[in-house]
Amino acid sequence: EPEVTQTPSHQVTQMGQEVILRCVPISNHLYFYWYRQILGQKVEFLVSFYNNEISEKSEIFDDQFSVERPDGSNFTLKIRSTKLEDSAMYFCASSPREGYTFGSGTRLTVV
C-alpha cells in the first residue's frame, strides 16, 4: 500500500537553528498538508498546499515557517529559527481528493 514517508524520524536542534523536515507524499496525490502535535496535546493544522501554492495556513504558520515542493516529489517544511515551543511531532499528509494518508511523523526536539 502506498505510504507517505517522512524523514528524519527524530531531529534534535539548537534553539535558533534552521530545520527542514522532509516528506515524500503519495505520488498521484494532489493535496499536501503539515500538521503538528505538541506532546500531550491535540493534532493542529499548520498548512495546506495545492497546485504549487499554499491554499490555507493557520495562525501557527507564521513567517518562521515555509513550505516547498522543490522537485515534484518532496514536500518540505522549513522552520527558520527554531524556538523551544516548536518542539513537537510534525506530521505530513497527502490526499488525492478525499481522505488523508499521514506519514509516521518527525519528532522535533529544540534544546
Partner 1 sequence: SQQGEEDPQALSIQEGENATMNCSYKTSINNLQWYRQNSGRGLVHLILIRSNEREKHSGRLRVTLDTSKKSSSLLITASRAADTASYFCATAPFRPNAGKSTFGDGTTLTVKP
Q: Which contiguous run of DSSP H or E holds residue 44?
A: strand 43-50
Cis peptide before 25 (omega within 30 of 0): no
Which residues, at least 6 apart from 24, have a Cβ–Cβ distance to it below 8 Å? 4, 5, 6, 73, 74, 75
Interacting span for partner 1 (CB under 8 A) from 11-19, 20-28, 48-56, 77-85: 48-56
Interacting span for partner 1 (CB under 8 A) from 12-20, 30-38, 64-72, 73-81: 30-38
By beta-carbon proximity to partner 1, the closer residue of 17 and 30 is: 30
From the CB of 101, what's the least distance to partner 1, in Å? Answer: 7
Q: For the beta carbon of residue 54, count every other beta carbon within 10 angstroms.
A: 12
**Count of alpha carbons within 13 Å of 75, Cβ hemisphere only?**
30
Residue 11, all three cell numbers: 531531529
Q: Does 98 participate in binding partner 1 (rule CB under 8 A)?
A: yes
Q: List the one residue from 23, 87, 91, 110 that touches partner 1 (CB under 8 A).
A: 91
From the CB of 8, what's the least distance to partner 1, in Å? Answer: 14
The residues that touch partner 1, with contacts defined as CB under 8 A, are 30-31, 33, 35, 39, 42-45, 48, 50-51, 55-56, 58, 89, 91, 95, 97-105, 107
